[in-house]
Structures are given as C-alpha cells and as structure tokens.
Structure 1
C-alpha cells in the first residue's frame, strides 16, 4: 500500500466499504478510510466473501485490547482474514494459532534462542550476512530493493534457527513466494493459488530436511530446541517441528523486508531524515522504530471471541470474528498528535507494529537488530536514495508491502 498523509478532517463515504477486498490495498492508500472509521464507526460490521460476518476495529485502544486479552479473544482459529469462517488448519500446532498456556509451552523455549544473548553471540555473522544482501546494491549502485530484501529474513534468522547453509537459498525463495504468490517475478507467472500451495509443500519439505540434518548436528538454536521440546510430556512430531519453523520464517517475511523497503521510500522523499541519521548514527534505532509504526507491515490481525463481551461500546457474541486494523491503530490521533508525520524524535512509542500481548512478535528483537545493522551499513556508504520508478505494491489485505522498487543509490563516505 502506498502510504499517504490525509488531512485531519479528510473523510470518505462509508457506503459499500469492503475491508476484505485486497485490490484497494494495491491501488490506493487506506488511511483516509481508516481515519473515517475511527471517527464515525470504530467497530464496523461486514461480511467476508464466504458469508461469515466480522467486526473491524480501527482505534488503537480497541486493537490493543483485542490483542492483549487472550481470555476473551482467541488466536487459535486463525490470525488473518482468510481464516474467517474457516479456521486455520494449523490450529493448536504452531505458536501463532495457540493460546496460553499451550502457547507458552511452544513459545518460551524458542524465544530463548532468539533473545539478546544469542543475538550478541551471532552479531558478527549477522552483520556479514546482511552485508552480503545489500552488496549488489552498493556494487551496481542500483537494484530492485524489494527483491534484495527477500533475502533479509534468512540472513537474520539462519544462524539462530540452525538452518543448514545448503538449504537457505531455497527456503528464502519459497518463503517469499508464500507471502507474495501473485508476484510473477518469484513464481514464474503461475496462478497465485497454485504458487501458494506449492510454496506450502516445498517449505514443509525443506524444513523437514533441515530438521533431519540438524538432528545429527545439534546446537544452541531453534531447531535443536524444537527437537528437545516436550509438549504435555510428549515430543513434537517432525511435521509439528517443521510447521513451527515455517511459521517463524513466514512471520519474518511478513514484517522485516517490508519495513526496510517502506523506510527507504520515505528516505528517498525526505533526504533531510537520512542526512540526520548519517550525521548521528545513534538515531538508527529511532529510524527503525518509527519506520515500523509508519509501515505497520501487517495491516491487520484476527481474533475470535471466546465469550459474550463488548469492545468499543459494541456488544460482541461468543464465536464472533474480530479484526484489529493495526495500520489504522498506528495512526490514531488519540495516541499521536501528528500520526501522519515520520519523526525521529518520538521516543518510546506504543505502536502495534509487532503486535501486542502474548503473541507479540517472537522475532521482534531479531528484526530490530537486522534492520539496525542494515541501515548502519547503508549509512556508511549511501549519501542519497533515489526511487527510479513508481513502486508497485502487494495485492493484500494482510501485508503492507511492495512487489518492486527500483532504487538508485548515490554513494559517499559518511563524515
């Protein structure tokens, strides 16, 4: 989605609004619509194409409550709109679609392998891997930046997950296809539904092979942790382990590359921001944090009501589906005075770019570190960014990303 900044009083008619349809997310910005909903109808009812109704929440307070209160609002049935009325086939099998206490049994051993101690231990390797990702851009002074960023999740997670080197390129490719099955540059032009199914099969096969290889060479990594994990006293099956590895890589692909691309798009339009960062690299963490709020890489997150309740002053019935529009919550005027401004001086920000509550992104620290390293490397070499042609955007109501952004960099040593 191209990100624009509507006027504070900008509104659109709500007649015929369809938040399920992915096409408008490719063709136009949704921020004026979300602003209208926050002001006029913050808990909005509509039906999915299969006839199942769902509530859309657009205010920060309501979205935060939805994500944090797992007792009232469950993740087990699915976390994205395509699950409405159907449910997720991996229910109860991966961290993404389980609720506490089962969620904690799966999450906590993995989280320890993605924490600060491991990040510090892998820091040199991480920097080298990220450097290899951006090397073509710095050598040729131009590249499709989106295509390069497809390899960023693998660069940041491979050492911590224990993915064998010989499988990394294939896993990176099929992970990208899983997120963007309609992108012909990745799929060879085959139908998106077929591409998505192929990606699903390939990813499970690849992670199954990786787990077998890791079993013969255990280490201090995610895959080893999964092989040693007991769930209610029973070890995970190989398929169960592969499914959780797949889920982790999908989560990384759904966030980090798109934040990087959207930040660079802003920096091309606002060279003053990049000049400030190059002059003071201690601003890079602020750039990453504000960039995550600004991008809101996942447009929405889904939950299902466990009980009869209310939210935003609206009665909710047990079994109702609710969608928290994170992209809207991160532009709420009740939280930020100037939410449509990209600022480096916000300080601690309560944005929901990595979610909230029990399902706060398990790889958030890894993502922040990888993005920080990426912009540290770029700050050393790039004086100015130039977007050579209008970027193209994903057709997705879930991921706020691009399919292509031709970037030219003007090099210059940082003083």
Structure 2
C-alpha cells in the first residue's frame, strides 16, 4: 500500500495546480480542464492526497471502483464529520452560527443507525412500484402542462429557465404538499442554497421571487446561507405543526408523524428532512433533464435515434444522468485505517468522492466523453452507491421518462440557439441557461 509520502514521490506531482483546480467552483462551469485533471488522477498509482489552498486536505477518490468501495464501507467511512467540500473559513462559519459541522441534519449528513431509521420513514413512498402506482398519472398531467407551456413559447426559448427549472419543482412540491403559490419561494431557496456563489443563479432566483411577490433581497449578490436555512426552517416548521395536527396524503405528513424508536422525529431532523426532499428532489432532476435535452440539441443523430424509438427513452434518461452527474461530490471521514485503491487511508483523514470523474472512467464506460442516448449497460454512480444511494432516484427517473414521452412526439427537431452555460458550483451544479430552437411536429 502506498502512503501519502510515497505517493508524493510520483513524477509529475503538481499539488498546488491540480489540487486547487479540482475544488475550484468556476472550473465546474467550464469543465474541460477539470475532466483532464480527473483523467490524470485516475491514471496515477494509488490515490491522490490533495492539499488545496484554503481547504483542509483530503484524499481524492476519482475512480469508479474506488468510489463504489468507499460507498459500500459505510461503517469505516462516515458522513457526519465532513459531508461537503467547504473552505476552512466556511467550516468555521458553520460551526460558529449553528454549533455543529452542518447547517442541517439530513439523510446525507447522518450515519447509521440514525440514517437508516430516518430513511425508513419515507422508504415506502419512494419505491419504484409505489411511485408508479401513486404518482405516474399526476406527474403525466404536470408534464403535459409544461409541454403545452413550452409550445406556447413558440420556436425559441431557454429550456432551463422556462421548462427544466419548473417541471420537477412542481412534481416534488406536489408530493411534499407545498401549495403552488409557494413554489417561487422554494425555487429561490433551493437555487441560492446550491448556487450561492454564482451571481447569475442568485439574480435569477431573486427576479422570479420578486415577480411572485416574495422578498428578493437587497440586490447584494452574496447569499447568507444561515438566513436561507432559517427561512427553510421557519416555513417547514409551520408545515410540520400543521401536518401533525391535520395529516394529509403527502410526504410532509409521513415525515411529521414518523417515529424513531417509538418517539417522534426530533424537530431539527424533521425540518431537515423537508429541506432535503424539497431541494435535492428538484435541482438534481432539473439539471439532468436540461443536460439530456442539450445533448439532443447538439447531436441531431441522437435526437433522431430516440424520437424514432421511444423504447430508448429509459436508456436516454440514464445517459442524461451519467452525463450531467448533478451531485459532483460527497465527502467521508475514515474511522479506522483502511486500504482503498492501493493507498492506506488513516483514521481521521477525509475523502472526497468525485462522481463526475467516476462517471467518466474509461475502464467502465466505452468512450465516456461521448453522449450515447442508447448506452447500455450504464452502471453510473450519479445517485451514489451503498446505504446512502439517493432515496428519490426512482422518482427522478419516472419524471424524466414521462416528460420525454410527452415532449418528443411533438418535436420535429431541436438545435442550440446560443451557447449553453453551466453554473458555478463544485457541489450541486448543472446548466443555468440552455437556449434552443425547436420545430414542432
């Protein structure tokens, strides 16, 4: 096994340059260099120990097999110490304002057995059979509504800002039980939570909410994440109280009245459950949907392939998810010395699993830098792996499949009408603009 010191003897070691780049949010908006760095790291012996300026050091887990191995070993690699890449200043700020290493206590921040017990509360709601039986008809109605809105736009539109943002938002808010008139607020909070450093994302969210009559801030492009968390908790605190007093047929009621070891869910965990459902259930699906449509616009042959054979839509959905990989990383902390990928990770050391790199691993995917709408097999890890695999993955797949089943038959062609732009973020990111020109069938 190679230790940190031994790995650093490897010729071509360029700690500062490559380490700074793989955490740089701006490179996730223009990822050509990032993909080159990922590939270089995948081909090095052992793992890469990164020391980016302004961050605590960590092991970079970039190969598909290593990400799977770490994800499976949830007893040795835990979430609660360090879940996301954050500068040291950000970590200190979070600890100061919340008294904890996390603003929230969501499923992705917790470990077993607490994680397992919380997850079990909504497990039945998000199983494939339950999702199809209970939600497919309602989701199809929402999809048809948004296709009609898209048709009303004519032949040119920004698919992100006029369709992809709002379709999965409506679906997850319907499931959660948030009234339609509050969706602009939820959109604002989600966008600013994940896109806090991208001025375009922040400005867009504030324009939408101001138009809907919600506060839009002072115009300051800086986002106060503690304020975002406080607004989430205030909103969902009222929902929690309401659903405990008046349960309904929605996920909010399931969470509100769920129990752990015979006792009600603690308030912070319940409110965080609402937050992760509202945010992760929206933003990631939006990114995958837009990313897939972008590739159809770039590649007419791929568009024709899927349009001619609707049976390929499930494969197209999976390739869209692999290609975009909306959640770019999660972190873990080692609790006992463990070998991974030929390197020895010591107790107390951190790891960052870079899913975008794992989904471009040439040892797993043929031509990984090529979008293939009919790619099969497609063992991507965009939903994670192991006990923390995405709870809502079946819902996301269903939403995307239904949208394409409703939209593609109505399209004769689609092409780019401008340059798509990715958001500036190294955690959850995707397209922030997608100008397209369509011809209706």
Q: What is the TM-score with the length of structure 2 in the denominator?
A: 0.84
- 1:243 matched to 2:263? The reply is no
Residue 186 of structure 1: which of 174, 181, 205 is its match?
205
Counterpart residue number, 2:403 = 374
State how far apart, in whole Å, the 2-side matches of 1:289 and 1:28 are.
21
Counterpart residue number, 1:26 = 29
Counterpart residue number, 1:59 = 63
Residue 126 of structure 2: which of 109, 114, 131 is its match?
114
State how far apart, in whole Å, the 2-side matches of 1:76 and 1:264 are.
36
TM-aligned CA deviation for residue 34 of structure 1 = 0.8
CA contact (8 A) 2:194 2:425 kept: no
State how far apart, in whole Å, the 2-side matches of 1:386 and 1:252 are.
28
- What are the within-5 Å matches in structure 2 for residues 169-184 of structure 1? 169-181=184-196, 182=198, 183=201, 184=203
1:194 partner SS: coil
Residue 108 of structure 2: which of 96, 101, 109 is its match?
96
Counterpart residue number, 2:257 = 228
State how far apart, in whole Å, the 2-side matches of 1:42 and 1:250 are.
35
Counterpart residue number, 1:76 = 80
**Unpaired runs of 5+ in structure 2?**
1-11, 208-217
TM-aligned CA deviation for residue 208 of structure 1 = 2.0
CA contact (8 A) 1:26 1:394 kept: yes
State how far apart, in whole Å, the 1-side matches of 2:325 and 2:56 are.
26
The structure where helix makes up a greater share of residues is: 2
User: Measured at CA, do residues 79 and 384 of structure 1 come closer, stay the same or move farther in structure 2, by a change above 3 Å?
Assistant: farther
User: In terms of mean alpha carbon deviation, does 216-225 or 319-328 score higher?
Assistant: 216-225
State how far apart, in whole Å, the 1-side matches of 2:365 and 2:406 are.
31
- 1:252 matched to 2:281? The reply is yes
CA contact (8 A) 2:173 2:278 kept: no
State how far apart, in whole Å, the 2-side matches of 1:369 and 1:227 are.
25
State how far apart, in whole Å, the 2-side matches of 1:394 and 1:72 are.
33
State how far apart, in whole Å, the 1-side matches of 2:135 and 2:400 are.
15
- What are the within-5 Å matches in structure 2 for residues 338-357 of structure 1? 338-357=367-386
Residue 39 of structure 1: which of 37, 43, 60 is its match?
43
User: In terms of mean alpha carbon deviation, does 217-226 or 271-280 score higher?
Assistant: 217-226
* CA deviation profile, 1:198-247 (whole Å, cap 9, x unmatched): 43222222222333333343133321121222223321244432211101
State how far apart, in whole Å, the 2-side matches of 1:13 and 1:407 are.
42
- What are the within-5 Å matches in structure 2 for residues 124-135 of structure 1? 124-135=137-148
* CA deviation profile, 1:164-218 (whole Å, cap 9, x unmatched): 3443332233222222233222235844542544432222222223333333431
- What are the within-5 Å matches in structure 2 for residues 172-321 of structure 1? 172-181=187-196, 182=198, 183=201, 184-187=203-206, 190-321=219-350
User: Measured at CA, do residues 291 and 136 of structure 1 come closer, stay the same or move farther in structure 2, by a change above 3 Å?
Assistant: same
2:60 partner SS: strand
Counterpart residue number, 2:157 = 143
CA contact (8 A) 1:106 1:231 kept: yes
User: Measured at CA, do residues 255 and 404 of structure 1 come closer, stay the same or move farther in structure 2, by a change above 3 Å?
Assistant: same
1:302 partner SS: strand
* CA deviation profile, 1:48-75 (whole Å, cap 9, x unmatched): 4445211101111111111221011111
How many residue pairs get aligned? The number is 401
What is the root-mean-square deviation of aligned Cα atoms in Å?
A: 2.4
CA contact (8 A) 2:314 2:401 kept: yes
TM-aligned CA deviation for residue 399 of structure 1 = 2.4
CA contact (8 A) 2:190 2:283 kept: no
User: In terms of mean alpha carbon deviation, does 169-178 or 50-59 score higher?
Assistant: 169-178
CA contact (8 A) 2:316 2:374 kept: no
State how far apart, in whole Å, the 1-side matches of 2:356 and 2:276 are.
22
Counterpart residue number, 1:3 = none
Q: What is the TM-score with the length of structure 1 in the denominator?
A: 0.89
State how far apart, in whole Å, the 1-side matches of 2:413 and 2:205 are.
28
CA contact (8 A) 1:161 1:223 kept: yes
CA contact (8 A) 1:152 1:256 kept: no
User: Measured at CA, do residues 159 and 187 of structure 1 come closer, stay the same or move farther in structure 2, by a change above 3 Å?
Assistant: closer
State how far apart, in whole Å, the 1-side matches of 2:58 and 2:79 are.
15
